[in-house]
Structure 1
Amino acid sequence: MSASKARDILGTLLDRVERVPDRTRQPAERAPADFPSAAERAAFDRLLADAERQGAISVVKGRGEAQHLTERIRLRDAVRLYEFLGRIPAVERARAAVSRLWASVAPKHTDAVGARDSIIDGWLRGQRPFSISFEQADQAVEFITALDAVLARDPMDRRDLRTYSGQTTGNTKLLERYASRIINFLKQIGRLDADLSDNEAMASLGLEKFSQPVLLAGPVRLAGVDLAGLVYVGLPPEQAPAIEPAGAIRSIITIENLASFNRHVREALQADDVVVYTGGFPSRAVAAALVAISRWPGITRIHHWGDIDEGGLRIALHLTSLVSIPVLPHLMSPALARLHGSPGKASRKIDLLPGHPWQSLATFLGGDDARFLEQEKIDPVPTTTVEAVS
């Protein structure tokens, strides 16, 4: 402990002023009780004495036998202490960082502009919006650049994540680096479902290293090729929305988990059914394919089979938001959960209007007797409640 320790304490006094600039009492710090040597104690006291002579601080000595020892250091004049330490006030550093941010990035999307402005406002208030301080102006520039690229992306853009990142921001890994911050922001402003994982959220935005094929089965045709004779097919993401019916279609069913999809297409698939694997929350490619399928002539509803839990319900509700026709539960009833499920803590309440296809399940999962059921524990069965359509 020496002069450097004294400077640290003086710096702490200014830190406290900057955290609470409108405080009514000047902050004080207690001096160390012990020093490795008399020389280090003397160096400590000399620096404090210099600061006191300049009117920056007051040194409070002990009493009685300790009257020669420094007990406490109290701030007297912050401006003089800034000068003594050669330190620039935080508000001035924040203003400089704001100027740098303004000059370095000009987002085009309104939500990215809003994020930039919230950073600026936060810095000037002494805050760290998005966990970025004004001393991390480079990070703020990168974050806004990445966010703007994500928000401005054309839904039909099929470039993989790193190609898109490199061609729009100049850095192939920039979107990955700031993915969590971007996703949290988009959840806060309601552009993403709050319960999506980072990977699910990125997939829903169409931002994947390479999009997974869209897996489906049934009497379908793509580019003139009839695929009905295959157990299932994996369609390139960019071509999946061009899928067409290759015959009369009795029902459409979406399946959340891969094991259940594999079992259903082998054990329960009817000749005139179309089955689509969502992979949890559907990627942008799966969503585009489902929108296209929902517009086929005669298709009036879709069935969905997933886990009976809060996540499964939210996936189902997300599907309902994608298409303009009803999405109905398949093997997702409170009765099945009571029979085969496991007890668990009630889910967050999701209020749905009476008569909504998922209202009874939402009420059940939000109740004290909630039980949860992984769909793999249930054997697949065909949908039987939908009349044939063509």
Structure 2
Amino acid sequence: MSAGKARDILGILLDRLERVPERTRQPAERAPADFPSAAERAAFDRLLADAERQGAISVVKGRGEARHLTERIQLRDAARLYEFLGRIPALERARVAASQLQASVEPRHTDAAEARDNIIAGWLRGERPFSISLEQTDQAVEFITALDAVLARDPMDRRDLRTYSGQTTGNTKLLERYASRIVNFLKQAGKLDVYLSDDEAMASLGLEKFSQPVLIAGPVRLAGVDFARLVYVGLPPEQAPMIEPAGAIRSIITIENLASFNRHVREALQANDVAIYTGGFPSRAVAAALVAISRWPGISRIHHWGDIDEGGLRIALHLTSLVPVPVLPHLMNPALARLRGTPAKASRKIELLPSDPWQPLATFLGGDDARFLEQEKIDPEPITTFEAVS
């Protein structure tokens, strides 16, 4: 038992050396003060004495009445201690792991290849890139395989998450298993909004178990079928971008939350208005449908209604980045938040141009008097010709 404790301490000396290989002083570790029995103390001391005779360590004894007790163990010769413990130095293990990773996965996408090379470089520096240690070569192979599958995916590919994962990686759940690491990598690379959750991010990449239907209300038609008389309709994700107007369109509104969408289409939707449910950050299917709708004849703007908070604002700005027409706030203004909202901590500063229609809300949410307001707490109202944003 205590011989094992001695080996643990010797291993700690090498761990500390490997973490800071350029250190000028050899690492040392204090010995335990107490042992369950004299026999276990003796076993502890015997193993340390063997290591000291090999020239691997120096054993420092106590003083006075404690001069017979081991006080501290100091590394003397790392190479001899590696040999004594039968342990391979971290750099050598890193080189072996790097060689295995290099030989095990050949990414198609340049960013995935760069991620693999970053893992190798990190291992050789004694780091754990992407929280993967050099002892976890299998995890590294799986992560790079999953990342490559995501990066190399054709935007028009309509396979669901598990089918796509199984057919491209051989494991139906591999992309789900590494979703967090993949999303973090893409955020750090600037390819995803940093405030997206893992599920939202994967949905925005078109990677869902099965994409949700695109919910839309108003005078629209698809494949010759007119849906104007329905309260709303759920369009198949792969067909949603083919939606067409079934008449003159007065306004377009996107709605963040399902309860508010249901209320709006029943209580506030006007003739010739079109409403689309985004479901928070829009999925790839919703985004594609919005791009198509924004290009309909006569569409010069889109209105958006969501929560008055940082997340709601970022969804609105994301929508703005998707479509070629302005996105204007509906029931999302500081005056309404001051009247009905809840005091909240200021959100992160979002710098927008003074002419941006979302600038007043961004300034308000980033100020000391910020208030948040969930859209479900507000009754739906029709789109008006002009809506104040201040």
- Give the TM-score taking structure 1 as reference length: 0.98
Show the 5 A alignment for 1:78-227.
78-227=78-227
Cα distance in structure 2, aligned partners of 1:269 and 1:41: 82
Show the 5 A alignment for 1:180-329.
180-329=180-329
Query: Per-residue displacement from partner, 1:261-286 (whole Å, max 9, x unpaired)?
Result: 00010011111001000000000000
Deviation at 1:218, TM superposition (A): 0.3
Cα distance in structure 1, aligned partners of 2:33 and 2:371: 60
Cα distance in structure 1, aligned partners of 2:34 and 2:368: 59
Aligned amino acid, residue 128 of structure 1: R
Note the aligned Cα RMSD (angstroms): 1.1
Query: Per-residue displacement from partner, 1:66-114 (whole Å, max 9, x unpaired)?
Result: 2222111111000000001110000000111100110011112122122
Cα distance in structure 2, aligned partners of 1:67 and 1:380: 83
Deviation at 1:356, TM superposition (A): 0.7
Cα distance in structure 2, aligned partners of 1:336 and 1:17: 60
Q: Secondary structure at the match of 2:72?
A: strand
**Is 1:335 aligned to 2:335, yes or no?**
yes
Aligned amino acid, residue 61 of structure 1: K
Deviation at 1:65, TM superposition (A): 2.1
Q: Secondary structure at the match of 2:136?
A: helix
Query: Per-residue displacement from partner, 1:122-179 (whole Å, max 9, x unpaired)?
Result: 1111111111011111101100110111111111111110000000000000000000
Corresponding residue for residue 71 of structure 1: 71
Q: Secondary structure at the match of 2:48?
A: helix
Q: Secondary structure at the match of 1:135?
A: coil
Which is further off, 203-212 or 28-37? 28-37
Q: Secondary structure at the match of 2:135?
A: helix
Q: Secondary structure at the match of 1:270?
A: coil
Cα distance in structure 2, aligned partners of 1:280 and 1:66: 68
Aligned amino acid, residue 125 of structure 1: R
Aligned amino acid, residue 120 of structure 1: I
Cα distance in structure 2, aligned partners of 1:82 and 1:8: 13
Query: Per-residue displacement from partner, 1:304-328 (whole Å, max 9, x unpaired)?
Result: 0011110000000000000011101
Cα distance in structure 1, aligned partners of 2:291 and 2:302: 11
Corresponding residue for residue 26 of structure 1: 26
Cα distance in structure 2, aligned partners of 1:167 and 1:286: 25
Q: Secondary structure at the match of 2:285?
A: helix
Cα distance in structure 2, aligned partners of 1:385 and 1:209: 40
Corresponding residue for residue 370 of structure 1: 370
- Give the TM-score taking structure 2 as reference length: 0.98
Corresponding residue for residue 59 of structure 2: 59
Corresponding residue for residue 15 of structure 2: 15
Deviation at 1:258, TM superposition (A): 0.5
Cα distance in structure 1, aligned partners of 2:29 and 2:247: 81
Cα distance in structure 1, aligned partners of 2:276 and 2:290: 8
User: Any unmatched runs of 5+ in structure 1?
Assistant: none
Cα distance in structure 1, aligned partners of 2:38 and 2:310: 66
Identical counterparts, % of pairs:
88
